[in-house]
Structure 1
Amino acid sequence: MRRSTVLATAAALSATLALAGCGSSGGDKAARKQAGPAADGQDINVRPLSDLKQGGSLRIGIEQWITQYNINQVDGQQGDAQSIISLVLPDLFTSDAKGAHHLNKDFLTSAKVVSTSPQVVEYELNPKARWSDGKPLSWRDFAAQWKALNGSDPAYEAVDTSGYDQISRVGKGKGEHGVRVTFDKPYADWQRLFDPLYPAAYIDSPKKFNSGWADRTPVSGGAFKLGTYDRTGQTITAVPDPKWWGARPKLDSIVFRVMDTRAKTDAYLNNEIDYTNAILPEDYKRLAKAKNTDIRRGARWDEVHITFNGAHGALKDVRVRNALQAAIDRKGINTSFAKDLGFELRTLDSHFFMPNQEGYRKNSGSYATYDPGKAKKLLDAAGWKGADGATRSRGGQKLVLDYVLDADAVSSAVDQAQIVQQQLGAVGVRVDIKKVPANDFFNKYVNTGNFDLVSFRNVDQVYLSMAYATYRQPRGRNLFQNFGSVGSPKVDELLTKAARTTDRTESVRLYNEADREIWKLGHSFMLYQRPQVYAVRAGLANFGAEGLADRDYLKVGWVK
């Protein structure tokens, strides 16, 4: 469930680059709330494997049909794709509840920095580790992934080259199963590279990399493999791979079923899926009363924001983007969403850290302060004139922006779009809400920069350098993950320095300095940290709100 390239892309993105927003507003006096979950907060019904029965199925609802299983390619960044691929490909390192990274011994017997000048990392692969085509994992897989992701050949449609572009050589290490990676510049987050690992034979050309993983996985290398793809029934089924060399999974199958987000609560109550989000008040009230159901809460790296597109139209002007920042009232949005939550919702003033993380600083300054008067002055200065209550214009052109919204969006996302529409309208900016099909939302709109305003979530940014692709300047048609194309040489320089700094204190300082510049640029408008609140079948163990930890499907199962 983590985003392994940025942000997760989610990677990464979701479960997700997923829509989120505020709940319905109301006038009830807010009850006193508990503090949010701690940084290492998780709730997964921990049980020893001896308590679990062998067999059974886990049914999971996902946002859309997966069209790209190469998560290092832009269309593979949808979060469900990342969740599924982490199940079937080698995951070299896993994160615990505190966000610390550990060797996955099913794939590696060791991995360590053996030199700092230059930085050299040596990996020792588990001799038992094999791809499903029978070939052993080898240094050639590492070399092919480096070639595809280092940015030297633009024919590879790589979503994020950070880290890989600092490697000077990948070669054979000590012995038959060794890998030696040499960096020309230090890279602090080296553990996030090659994770997951893709097989050389299936990514060693631009054609294979870009389209060889479309709609299906040509090969696997994990405890599970994808057994069936039922596009008619909109289900993807993972089953244990009989060639797996590690501990036997408890589950017989994991079924991923595409469904409308708004239908998931009913699907859970009708016993069609085994867990679902319970964060929205209208869902929580129904799910909390369901039989044999746990409400599990955790503190995930999960942020809700609005992206501004600076590539075209009025938003190319930073003054207009700054005006939008001043015109949007975060307090109103966040209060509306959190009205019925049982614990505090944390307003977010950083693009890199969650409020419950070490290193968090409030870097938004005046750029997140609600000030309609300031917004009007900025718009006037940019040449967009208009009387109160009227849409502004310049040179005969109206100031009209589209806010792209998933047609299947939950009520909170619709509420958020409508609140933003109302707030921006108050300063003379007309916002048209443009609903698009769920399966097109990321692939045809977000990923291609086909929007003025859009809201989604970035999740599981467990390595700080994962953010680079989101804030770096695009190169040609490659937006990386900077879908709004807002960036600067200064931000690129700061993020590059931060990624090369192995001193944690100095690295945190550089990321916070970059964050202040990102707020000034009007790249995106952070709203809040979204907590995990899930309804889960009570008999399901080692599963639920993992927080900063990776989900370990080898340990997931049903209590006897």
Structure 2
Amino acid sequence: MSHDGVGPRAVMRSVAFLAAGALAVPFLAACGSDEEVPKPLAAQDIAPVARGLVADGGTLKWAVDAVPATLNAFQADADAGTSRVAQAVLPSMFRLDATGRPVPNPAYLESAKVIETEPRQVVLYKLNQQAVWSDGREIGAADFAAQWRALSGRNSAYWTARNAGYDRIEKIERGANDLEVRVTFSRPYADWKSLFSPLYPKDVMGTPDAFNDGARRGLKVTAGPFTVAKVDTAQKDVVLTRNPRWWGKAAKLNEIVLHAVPRDKRAEALADGSADLADVDPADAQRIGLAAHGAANPLQGSGKTSVKKLRAWARAHDFDPDDVKAGRTKLRKAISEYLDEQQALSGVEVRRSLEPAYTQLALNGSRGPLADERVRRAVARALDRRELARLVLTPLGLPAVPVGSHLALSGQAAYADNSSALGAQDPKEAQALLADAGWVPGGPVQEPKKGEKAAGPERGKTDGGEKKGKGEKAEDKSDGGRDGEYIVGEDEKNGGRGDGGDRHLAQEGRHGGAQGAYAPQGTAAPAAAAKPLAKDGKPLLLRFVLPSGAGSQTLTSVADRISAMLERVGIRTTISKVSDASYFKDHIASGDYDLALYSWPSSAFPATDDRPVYAKPVPAADGSLNVEQNYTRVGTDQVDQLFDEAATTLDEDEEVSLIRKADARIWAAAGSIPLYQRPQLVAVRKNLVNAGAFGFQTPVYEDMGFLKKGAKVSASPTTASASPGS
């Protein structure tokens, strides 16, 4: 699902061709749902002010990764841009609050509740009597029914990406009046609040042709504070303008322009005024921070500055290597342009929080040594997850707390740290598990026969055969950012149609970052490596697959640190760099890896959204293995049963308890190890308010705008307020 709010959980059906080994997990206790839920680790940072302090009018230029391929959020190639547009122009019955929990959206709902449970679950929606589509027609039961029929999975002519929840609806009918909608379920459905968010008009959902093609490049009928004025693929723009029929508080902005800007061009766009708001990588965040304090100018002073000094200054400011190597004239020009941009960037600031998504270490349990649960558990027990979190988050000033759940993040109702089901870092226990699995130190290793390939490429090589030059050291540098990370649920475009409840694996922010990550103060010195382990003449060697894009520094740094931790218990790794384009499809989804790093978004509805991620793989009709989105191929019947029970109970406390129990068993199976919550860095013009790093919360588009002259914003993101200036 979109991490910006309650939105479509876009999906992809993924079938691998490898068999998974059976895994037995003992009964494990989990935290009770009556325990106090921790707060989000980081508050949203949006410079919040009262609407009265926001100027009327203006255009917000919002840099995005790409123009959406479709504006239909229920199609397979929907992405983060699709969700962003849908949030601004379409109804959502529920939205997420600052803790990532669904709450009724008063713009569309007076109330929504379960009014019957026997013999069937019935939900009654009472709609806001002012809610109308932009063509003047009331929002009503006909729209709900059309969306249900399109997404129920009963008509294959609709090219839908998901049907979870909609496939449990038995009928939809008008209530006591036009403002009431009765939804009757054939089976109990705990996550009913996930439905009809967004809600499309019957014009879009009414026929397969309208659904499949009609809403890809535009939306003629909308019902939000904004409407879609233009989708211009040539100019790479989506233009949203005020909706004149909007019945709520009028949008402060006249216009929002979503413009596609490559991440390595965003600092330039912010400096020249072609962007007012943009997600940025840590290198640009650092640069914007320096702009606020000014930067030393090596061009000032009498006489000519030596080329040596210019080059040293350029290297210190992360200039392009080609510029650094250039002659004096070209280098002086590049530095002059940089300083001009720095001056312009003094009007920009970075707002930061944590995304509702986490990075994990995935262990492919379908083959090789990791098919043995004891080896997977040994890998997990060798990791210092707190050190890994510090490596990424401490340089950014964000809380470096390891994620303790696969199914929720701190602040959400279902969150509990269940990592004790697997155990904390313990190298001795890791070695004992490996010994129990038959891996012994210093065992004989058979040389590969002639014509056979080694287990993987040498450390430092890419799949393309590139190798580091003589004397070149492997770097362990992190920019603390999103480079090279792959996140499910946002903007990976793919073909095919999915099953209910699935989510995308998508790429985000694979771009360069600030150098100089460090082991935080207090980090212990590296322990001596254990002797290599072997079994049956074969070494314990794991292939660690990573993307090789220009911005993969963070993942590379994390992988290097993980490899060092594993080496201390006798596990060797080979790091295999592959192209960004093939990383997911040809390696993660197909199971061509032993270890990998990618990210999942958290969901407000884990019983629905996370089941396909952890479901036990089953044989498909064609003899392949249907893994859904369980790319580690590790699953158990117990976990499946707990998800099924959680999806059908209408007792919220019981659902939370079941989700936590499922998470404890997922930890015990050691198919994936959550590491850290992802940083969220958003550069904004300083006078732009009610916008920035939203964290869990759905943005309120009608409140975004530019601060009135003379108004001031509190500096604290957690207690930000504003008052008129003198």
TM-score by length of 2: 0.62
Which residue matches 2:198?
Answer: 196
Distance in 2 between residues matched to 1:442 and 1:343, nearest whole Å = 28
Alignment check: 8 A CA contact 2:563 2:572 kept: no
How far the C-alpha of 1:80 sits from its partner, in A, is 3.6
**Is 2:577 the counterpart of 1:433?**
yes
**Is 2:693 the counterpart of 1:548?**
no
Question: Relative to structure 1, is the Cα distance of residues 195 and 122 closer, same or farther in structure 2, using a 3 angstrom cutoff?
Answer: same
How far the C-alpha of 1:543 sits from its partner, in A, is 1.4
What is the root-mean-square deviation of aligned Cα atoms in Å? 4.1
Distance in 2 between residues matched to 1:356 and 1:247, nearest whole Å = 29
Which residue matches 1:407?
Answer: 549
Give the secondary structure class of the aligned counterpart of 1:527: strand
Structure 1, residues 194-245: CA drift from partner, whole Å, max 9, x if none? 1111334434566765666556557543232333334344333323344444
Distance in 1 between residues matched to 2:549 and 2:367, nearest whole Å = 24
**Is 2:357 the counterpart of 1:302?**
yes
Spell out the pairing of 1:199-278 with structure 2 (5 A cutoff). Answer: 199-203=201-205, 213-214=215-216, 220-277=222-279
Distance in 1 between residues matched to 2:543 and 2:158, nearest whole Å = 33
Deviates more, 1:371-380 or 1:418-427: 371-380
Q: 1:342 aligns with which of 382, 397, 410?
A: 397
How far the C-alpha of 1:552 sits from its partner, in A, is 0.4
Question: Relative to structure 1, is the Cα distance of residues 49 and 355 closer, same or farther in structure 2, using a 3 angstrom cutoff?
Answer: closer
> Which segments of 5 or more consecutive residues in structure 1 lack a partner in the other structure?
12-35
Alignment check: 8 A CA contact 1:392 1:428 kept: no
Give the secondary structure class of the aligned counterpart of 1:106: coil
Which residue matches 1:15?
Answer: none
Q: 2:639 aligns with which of 473, 491, 501?
A: 491
Distance in 2 between residues matched to 1:10 and 1:88, nearest whole Å = 22
* Sequence identity percentage: 31
Which residue matches 1:23?
Answer: none
Which residue matches 1:515?
Answer: 663
Which residue matches 1:138?
Answer: 140
Which residue matches 2:600?
Answer: 458
TM-score by length of 1: 0.79
Structure 1, residues 445-476: CA drift from partner, whole Å, max 9, x if none? 76787866554433352344343343335675
Spell out the pairing of 1:27-42 with structure 2 (5 A cutoff). Answer: 38=40, 41-42=43-44
Q: 2:678 aligns with which of 517, 530, 536?
A: 530
Alignment check: 8 A CA contact 2:48 2:690 kept: yes
Alignment check: 8 A CA contact 2:4 2:695 kept: no
Which residue matches 1:44?
Answer: 46
Question: Relative to structure 1, is the Cα distance of residues 157 and 323 closer, same or farther in structure 2, using a 3 angstrom cutoff?
Answer: farther
Alignment check: 8 A CA contact 2:166 2:195 kept: yes
Q: Which has the larger radius of gyration?
A: 2
Deviates more, 1:384-393 or 1:339-348: 384-393
Alignment check: 8 A CA contact 2:383 2:425 kept: yes
How far the C-alpha of 1:87 sits from its partner, in A, is 1.9
Alignment check: 8 A CA contact 2:58 2:255 kept: yes
How far the C-alpha of 1:499 sits from its partner, in A, is 2.9
Give the secondary structure class of the aligned counterpart of 1:174: coil
Question: Relative to structure 1, is the Cα distance of residues 40 and 416 closer, same or farther in structure 2, using a 3 angstrom cutoff?
Answer: closer
Deviates more, 1:98-107 or 1:396-405: 396-405
Structure 1, residues 348-397: CA drift from partner, whole Å, max 9, x if none? 12112323555533212364644567667767887899758889798999
Distance in 2 between residues matched to 1:347 and 1:469, nearest whole Å = 24
Which residue matches 1:22?
Answer: none
Question: Relative to structure 1, is the Cα distance of residues 172 and 336 closer, same or farther in structure 2, using a 3 angstrom cutoff?
Answer: same
Question: Relative to structure 1, is the Cα distance of residues 180 and 550 closer, same or farther in structure 2, using a 3 angstrom cutoff?
Answer: same
Give the secondary structure class of the aligned counterpart of 1:47: coil
Structure 1 counterpart of 2:359, one-letter code: V
Structure 1 counterpart of 2:547, one-letter code: L
Distance in 2 between residues matched to 1:540 and 1:139, nearest whole Å = 38
Structure 2 counterpart of 1:168, one-letter code: E
Structure 1, residues 108-166: CA drift from partner, whole Å, max 9, x if none? 34323222333211123345544456654332332333344445567766555443344
Which residue matches 1:33?
Answer: none
Question: Relative to structure 1, is the Cα distance of residues 68 and 325 closer, same or farther in structure 2, using a 3 angstrom cutoff?
Answer: farther
Which residue matches 1:24?
Answer: none
Alignment check: 8 A CA contact 1:212 1:218 kept: no
Which residue matches 1:86?
Answer: 87
Alignment check: 8 A CA contact 1:59 1:256 kept: yes
Structure 2 counterpart of 1:238, one-letter code: L
Question: Relative to structure 1, is the Cα distance of residues 270 and 488 closer, same or farther in structure 2, using a 3 angstrom cutoff?
Answer: farther
Alignment check: 8 A CA contact 2:220 2:228 kept: no
Distance in 2 between residues matched to 1:331 and 1:128, nearest whole Å = 51
How far the C-alpha of 1:556 sits from its partner, in A, is 0.5
Alignment check: 8 A CA contact 2:380 2:673 kept: yes
Q: 2:184 aligns with which of 154, 162, 182?
A: 182
Question: Relative to structure 1, is the Cα distance of residues 393 and 448 closer, same or farther in structure 2, using a 3 angstrom cutoff?
Answer: same
Which residue matches 2:59?
Answer: 57
Which residue matches 1:108?
Answer: 109
Distance in 2 between residues matched to 1:408 and 1:260, nearest whole Å = 13
Give the secondary structure class of the aligned counterpart of 2:253: coil
Distance in 1 between residues matched to 2:374 and 2:85, nearest whole Å = 41
Give the secondary structure class of the aligned counterpart of 2:575: strand
Distance in 2 between residues matched to 1:95 and 1:516, nearest whole Å = 25
Give the secondary structure class of the aligned counterpart of 2:60: strand
Distance in 2 between residues matched to 1:322 and 1:100, nearest whole Å = 32
Structure 2 counterpart of 1:538, one-letter code: K
Distance in 1 between residues matched to 2:200 and 2:543, nearest whole Å = 40
Distance in 1 between residues matched to 2:211 and 2:585, nearest whole Å = 17
How far the C-alpha of 1:168 sits from its partner, in A, is 2.7
Distance in 2 between residues matched to 1:393 and 1:464, nearest whole Å = 39
Structure 2 counterpart of 1:191, one-letter code: K
Distance in 2 between residues matched to 1:348 and 1:123, nearest whole Å = 36
Question: Relative to structure 1, is the Cα distance of residues 249 and 457 closer, same or farther in structure 2, using a 3 angstrom cutoff?
Answer: farther
Give the secondary structure class of the aligned counterpart of 2:655: helix
Structure 2 counterpart of 1:557, one-letter code: G
Distance in 1 between residues matched to 2:429 and 2:205, nearest whole Å = 51
Give the secondary structure class of the aligned counterpart of 1:347: coil
Question: Relative to structure 1, is the Cα distance of residues 361 and 95 closer, same or farther in structure 2, using a 3 angstrom cutoff?
Answer: closer
Structure 1, residues 66-109: CA drift from partner, whole Å, max 9, x if none? 33444334432x43432232222212223333445443333334
